[in-house]
Chain A
Amino acid sequence: MSLEQFKNRNVGTQNYVKLDLDHTPTSGWCQFKQVVKRTFKPELFVGLWVTLREMINALFRGKMHTTQYPFEKLPISPRYRAIHDMLRLLESGHYRCIGCGLCEKICIANCITMETRYDENQRKEVSEYTINFGRCIFCGYCAEVCPELAIVHGQRYETASEQRASFSLFEDMLTPIDQLNLQQEYQGFGAVSPNADENIKKTPLAY
């Protein structure tokens, strides 16, 4: 594509498409006509009708829009980057993290730290793992780089707490072993939200 059209900065010479607006009234009579037209055109009443209709919709047709947040929650998009989750292997229940340290490396806020060691089974074991949520910018690189889909962004977005550290240890993020059946697989970065269909609406310009 040529950049010519962008380089022409002489305002007014571009090919603007003009909206089909009424002409500006020139005489007093024209202005009066415009006022009368605007006054008695039902547009004002369209406005009144729309608001009234929405009120009726809300009150009597159950189309109230409000989600009463602390009491009811909307499902969040799988793309949302909330507090991290550490997933387990469904087969064995063992945590997936292999301690490769890529998340630690890629972390641009430098908030992930891990300790690994050689364990009794001659495997690399993650002995400690922590994310400093005071620093974390929730960029999602750690989840993106993880070769084992072990660290993912979870659903916990309510991160107010007396201690930032309350979320940050491996055990806090790890799926509890008794809730393994509820563990949600990571959908990936292009995933659509579960209620995506409901959320599709006509644009309000349709009227």
Chain B
Amino acid sequence: MSEVQTVDNMVTISIDGVEYKAKEGEYILNAARANDVFIPAICYLTRCSPTLACRLCLVEADGKQVYACNTKVKDGMSVTVDTPNILEERRAMMEVYDVNHPLQCGVCDQSGECELQNYTLEMQVDSQTYAIKDTERHTANWSSVLHYDAGLCIVCERCTTVCKDMIGDSALKTTKRGGDKLDKSLKDSMPKDAYAMWNKLQKSIIAPSNGTGSTDCSDCGECIAVCPVGALVSRDFQYTTNAWDLKRIPAVSAHSSDGFAIYYETKPRSISDRREKIFRVTNEWNFVSLDGSARFGYDFENEDVTKDEKAFANAVEALKKAETIRFNSVISNEEALMLQTLKEKLGVKLYNPEVRPFQKFLKLYSEASGKSLYNSDSTKAMKCDFVVSVGGALRNDSPGLKYAFNNIQKMNKGAGLYFHPVGDKLIPTFGKNVEMFIHKAGLEEASLYLLLDLFADKSKLPADVKDYIESFENGKLIDMLGGDSEKFMAGFDKMMKKKEKFVLMVGEDYYGHPKAENLAKLIVLLEETAGFEVVMNPPKSNALGVALICDLDDEATGYTVGYNENGDFRLSALGDGDLDLPAFNQQEGTVTTLSKRVVPTNVAIDYGGYVLNDLMAELVDAPRLTIDWTPYLPTDKGYKSVAFDDLANSFDNAGNDNRGYLLDVTTKEVELPSVEKFDENATLEGDIVYRCNPPRQFSDFSDKAHQIFEAFGLYASEERAKELGSKVEVVFENGSIEVDVVVDKKMEGNIVALSDFKSAQNVYELFGESRYATVTIREV
């Protein structure tokens, strides 16, 4: 359980005469679900706001008919799920839903996993009382991945709700359907709620909210996941298979550091080719929302690999003479432990430019705070009501934290501050109380000082810090960070109204920052004096696991073996190396997620070649299987000695994540750190390039997936892209790179973003540790 259930925040309600405990302030529906009581509902999504589109969750609470999805529990409340009147209403509703619903269940991609079918049967609809002229409804492709069949849509609005309340893209809305008006006489003759529902249904249909025929969104596909019928499907998946043929394999998304729980759904790819293929990725959409890379970036497996003994022998030789092993964060905890073992036994250097700054920053942070790790996570963050994001391009770097940021605004009546040198037009749309500061690169410390100024309990602050903050008068800090101090201060009180829980999301910019130590100390200060919870975004995939398990080195020297990276000898799961290794969907193991959870992932696709463990067995000593390493993950870093097969992998009905286990976080009492002042003039000037991937792209693996279309390039706002032209050469101090310019309509300002997901391009070398670099950009 993520949250300790105490007696004082629990109330007792009775549902159909049985007493249950429920959290105070929870909706009846959620309380019932948490207690395994079934109340029918189509439109409601846990973690999103009630839409009241389906009205099926009608129940009787204390003698009054209410909707279970938007009525909060009260102590002693007595709920009846089925009364004769409610049963009549529900049946009428399902009859209405069945009016003009095409009878193409045979070809529909929902193939039986259909809530319309389920509830129609549940309500025992065996005859139809209602009829109305059908409206012509067209199918449409909304984006490169979304296919919408309006004919099948029952307008439950789950897609619009999830897009708005969880994803934050708000790319969908209901629009006019142009259906016939209902016969007036029905108002009296048919059940009241069913009539109201039908009335609304006849008027609306789903469409992209920008008024065009295509959605302007991050293509996360969450709308596909939540669709109760077959109206929204992935274009790639459509009509290719039936759901019942697919084998579900619980796994962890390989791309972002969120470690989303996913199911790979596989089946043999064709009649003649019986190799398993992943047809789609699904998720427990009530409890976890995926980003586009997790949902569509699944086919990165290393295909048709056999045991190449010669290559294996070469690899053993290469590792024996290697001075450095270079790798990235797309690696399981077990593999990271193997590499660490190699370092200990063979003395090789471990070079990982993706994770090294993060590892150093974590160390700085724990030294300053006395805590071994940050104390919040994405689930906890979602329960806060004031969120501050610093040092990260939230939309690109961390879909999970972006969802949390957005969800706080929508569900908790929250407020948010977003500090970043690169403007993002999407962030302010999350809510009215979101303020975005587009500050100059280099002023990161200033943003933390501003936060101290705004939130800290001044009496707790060290005197020098207090004085230093007070030296900035009249909102000078705000202005310095690109805000409008008068306007901001006028609105700030409103933002702060009734706010109790604060969370700080720290992004990757800070890790490689020249003043990282000071930043870490300032964060600790914020935590201690302003009551902020802190969550950090590990750069990618299993970066946290690597940071905790491996003892990384600062540079690569001599003969280098690259694991999915450049090197003199390449071990690769991408199919282009000197020795093939399994990709993430071909191996089992554990991943350490952003939420400090160690979660298991399983094999979706067979792999016939050598694995890293075979090399280990040859070089040092290794147990039989990769997963035999799991219990030996370092316990001093918070890992537990649990065998892989003993790890749970599920959510409970209340939505608690029971996958794997949480890392132990140790706390030491330490004094408040002493912080340095910042240098106002340390800002970067001139053409600035920011190392940042487009949404949905994280690594070579996401790039390999055929449904991830975002290109490697220089991303720029529309205006900036016009200035730059179509192809440019970006000249760094230590090299240059030629890239295409890609427009990102949601970017703001002059800073351009250079992708780093292609390891072959070696972008990390160009940037060094910092994510910002001053460059010369020349059109080619």
Contact = CB atoms under 8 A, between A and B. Distances in A.
Asked if A and B form a direct contact in the complex, defined as CB atoms under 8 angstroms apart, the reply is: yes
Interface of A: 98-102, 104-105, 113-119, 122-125, 128, 130, 147-148
B102 interface: no
B492 interface: no
Given A116-B239, A116-B241, A118-B238, A128 B106 contact: no
A30 to B, nearest CB: 74
5 contacts: A99-B107, A100-B242, A101-B242, A116-B241, A118-B240
A101 B139 contact: no
B463 interface: no
B106 A148 contact: yes
Mostly, the A contact residues are mixed
A122 B139 contact: yes
Those 4 A-B pairs whose CB atoms lie nearest each other, nearest first: A100-B106, A124-B107, A124-B239, A101-B242
B106 A147 contact: yes
Contacts of B139: 122
B270 A115 contact: yes
A130 B271 contact: yes
Interface string B439-480: 000000000000000000000000000000000000000000
Contacts of A104: 242, 245
B111 interface: yes
Nearest to A114: B271
Contact of A101 (B111, B238, B271): B111
Mostly, the B contact residues are loop
A99 B244 contact: no
A148 B270 CA distance: 24
Contacts of B268: 113
A134 to B, nearest CB: 14
Given A113-B271, A117-B239, A125-B239, A98 B106 contact: yes
Contacts of B105: 100
A114 to B, nearest CB: 8
Contacts of B245: 101, 104-105
Nearest to A113: B271
Nearest to B243: A101
Interface residues of B, number: 16
A187 B239 CA distance: 30
Given A100-B106, A101-B111, A128 B271 contact: yes
Given A105-B242, A105-B244, A115 B107 contact: no
Interface in B86-116: 105-107, 111
A117 B270 contact: no
A102 B239 contact: no
Nearest to B103: A147
Nearest to A130: B271
Contacts of A102: 106
Nearest to B107: A124
A128 B271 CA distance: 8
Contacts of B242: 100-101, 104-105
A102 to B, nearest CB: 7
A117 B240 contact: yes
B273 to A, nearest CB: 10
A101 B235 CA distance: 19
Given A100-B105, A101-B242, A115-B271, 19 more contacts: A98-B106, A99-B107, A100-B106, A101-B241, A102-B106, A104-B242, A104-B245, A105-B244, A113-B268, A114-B271, A115-B240, A115-B270, A117-B239, A118-B239, A122-B139, A124-B239, A125-B239, A128-B271, A148-B106
Nearest to A102: B106
Contacts of A130: 271
Nearest to A132: B271
Nearest to A105: B244
Nearest to A129: B271
A98 B139 CA distance: 19
Given A104-B245, A124-B107, A147-B106, A99 B239 contact: yes
Contacts of A116: 239-241
Contacts of A114: 271
Interface string B215-259: 000000000000000000001001111101100000000000000
A86 B235 CA distance: 29
B271 A98 contact: no
B148 to A, nearest CB: 12
Contacts of B111: 101
A167 to B, nearest CB: 15
Nearest to A116: B239
Contacts of B238: 118
A195 to B, nearest CB: 36
Q: Which of A114, A118, A130: most chain B Cβ within 10 A?
A: A118
A117 B139 CA distance: 16
Contacts of A118: 235, 238-240
A100 B271 contact: no
A128 B270 contact: yes
Nearest to B233: A118
A170 B642 CA distance: 52
A105 B246 CA distance: 11
A122 B147 CA distance: 11
Contacts of A119: 239
Contacts of B235: 118
A126 B270 CA distance: 12
A116 B240 CA distance: 5
B582 to A, nearest CB: 27
Interface in B106-128: 106-107, 111
A113 B245 CA distance: 10
Contact of B107 (A100, A105, A113, A128): A100
B469 to A, nearest CB: 61
B72 to A, nearest CB: 43
A125 B239 CA distance: 8
Nearest to B139: A122
Interface in B594-619: none
A114 B241 CA distance: 9
Contacts of A147: 106
Contacts of A128: 270-271
A117 B269 CA distance: 12
A99 B239 CA distance: 9
Interface in B367-415: none
Nearest to B235: A118
B236 to A, nearest CB: 9
A142 to B, nearest CB: 14
A135 to B, nearest CB: 14
Nearest to A127: B270
Contacts of B239: 99, 116-119, 123-125
A128 to B, nearest CB: 5
Nearest to B141: A122
Nearest to B149: A122
A95 to B, nearest CB: 14
